[in-house]
Amino acid sequence: MTFMLDFLEGLGAAALRVLARLGLATGFFQAVLARAPGSAKRFGLLVREVYFSGVRSLAIIVVSGLFVGMVLAVQGYEVLQRFGSADALGSLVALSLVRELGPVVAALLFAGRAGSAVTAEIGLMRATEQLAAMDMMAVDPITRVVAPRFLAAVASLPILAVIFSSAGVIGAYLVGVELIGIDSGAFWSQMSASVDFRLDVLNGLFKALVFGVAVGLISVFEGYHAAPTAEGVAGATTRTVVISSLSVLTLDFILTVLMFRGLN
């Protein structure tokens, strides 16, 4: 009986903690969104953050995209050729990449590469009182530090996702056509016959945009609310990657159901 009560008490306390954190996050997100337009006017700040978040993530995105495309081609060919439909490889690979893997894997990599860096940077700025110093110099840290990093994530992730998908298609082409020997014409024509620009490519981009908002907000929130100690910043960085990844996968499921349910 006491065990049950302890369990319920623990559960209740945990739920309250989560709720308190969510409340804190909601207020913070509102503050960031309210400051975002003013921050976007400082174009130089935004460019700098797109450089650190977007451009610096390019290498990992391109290389991962190439390899994911190559693996998809090998595995896809394995299955398709059993049914004599190896020509459909192009459409299989392109649809997988454009609808799902491009936005999702790019977002997961982005959370690990750029999101964690943003959290660590903001967390360290807090721990070393740089944010407090800024505030005392009558410069709002949310406008000056937080909002540009959030906007950079929103701007970078769709670009990275479409680059990831392109790299994947090229990787699949290299393996499927150059290595395995599928007809190059069939590869491209099957692909373009089945991939619709508006329904598949633009929906994929929209997903990436939503993921950018999610990863961006989580990264800056965890950094801004990190405990001002080394452990606090380390924990916040881990939380950014974990919570971002879970959010991306959850959002992906919801968006996929909303977007593609009516199609088939």
Partner 1 sequence: MSRSKTNVAVGAFVALGMVAIAFMALKVGNLVSFDSGVGYRLEARFDNIGGLRVRAPVKSAGVVVGRVEAIHLDKDTYEAVADLRIRPEYRFSSDTIAAIVTSGLLGEQYLSLDAGGDSRYLVDGERIIKTQSAMVLEKLIGQFLYNKAAETSGDRK
Partner 2 sequence: MPEPLDAPLIELKDVRFGYGGRLVLDGLDLTVPRGQILAVMGGSGSGKTSLLGLLGGRNIALSGSVKVDGNEVGSLNGAKLYALRRRMGMLFQFGALFTDLSVFENVAFPYREQTDLPEAVIRDLVLLKLEAVGLRGAADLAPSQLSGGMARRVALARAIALDPMLMFYDEPFTGLDPISAGIIGRLIQRLNVAFGMTSLLVTHDVNETLRIADRIVVISEGRIVRDMTPQELRSSDDRFIRQFADGLPDGPVPFHYPASPYAGQLLGDHDVHA
Q: Could you tell me the smallest distance in angstroms from the CB atom of residue 57 to partner 2?
A: 18
Task: Tell me if residue 62 falls in helix, strand or coil.
Answer: helix
Which one among 48, 74, 81, 112 touches partner 1, defined by CB under 8 A? 48
Q: Which residue carries 């620009």 as its tokens?
A: 197
Site residues for partner 1, window 82-121 (CB under 8 A)?
A: 83-85, 88, 94, 98
Q: Quick check: 41 binds partner 2 (CB under 8 A)?
A: no
Q: Nearest-5° angle of CA 203, CA 97, CA 105?
A: 90
| Helix segments in the chain, DSSP class H | 2-40, 43-53, 58-82, 89-95, 102-110, 116-127, 130-136, 141, 147-173, 184-194, 203-224, 230-260
Closest CA to 50 of 216, 240, 222, 249: 216
Q: Could you tell me the smallest distance in angstroms from the CB atom of residue 197 to partner 1?
A: 4
Q: Which amino acid is at 49?
A: E
Q: Quick check: 184 binds partner 1 (CB under 8 A)?
A: no
Q: Could you tell me the smallest distance in angstroms from the CB atom of residue 240 to partner 2?
A: 19
Q: Could you tell me the smallest distance in angstroms from the CB atom of residue 128 to partner 2?
A: 6
Which one among 71, 180, 199, 255 touches partner 1, defined by CB under 8 A? 199
Q: Could you tell me the smallest distance in angstroms from the CB atom of residue 177 to partner 1?
A: 13
Q: Quick check: 261 binds partner 1 (CB under 8 A)?
A: no
> In sequence order, which residues have a C-beta less than 8 Å from that of residue 255 and are 6 or more positions away?
206, 207, 210
Q: Quick check: 130 binds partner 2 (CB under 8 A)?
A: yes
Closest CA to 224 of 134, 118, 140, 123: 123
What is the longest distance spanned by two Cα atoms in the chain? 71
Q: Quick check: 133 binds partner 2 (CB under 8 A)?
A: yes
Task: Tell me if residue 112 falls in helix, strand or coil.
Answer: helix
137 secondary structure, DSSP code: T
Which one among 6, 78, 129, 178 touches partner 2, defined by CB under 8 A? 129
Q: Quick check: 30 binds partner 2 (CB under 8 A)?
A: no
Which one among 124, 170, 180, 255 touches partner 2, defined by CB under 8 A? 124
Q: Could you tell me the smallest distance in angstroms from the CB atom of residue 216 to partner 1?
A: 17
Q: Which residues in this chain contact partner 1 in the complex, by CB under 8 A? A: 44, 47-48, 50-51, 54-55, 58, 83-85, 88, 94, 98, 156, 158-160, 162-163, 165-166, 169, 188, 191-201, 263-264
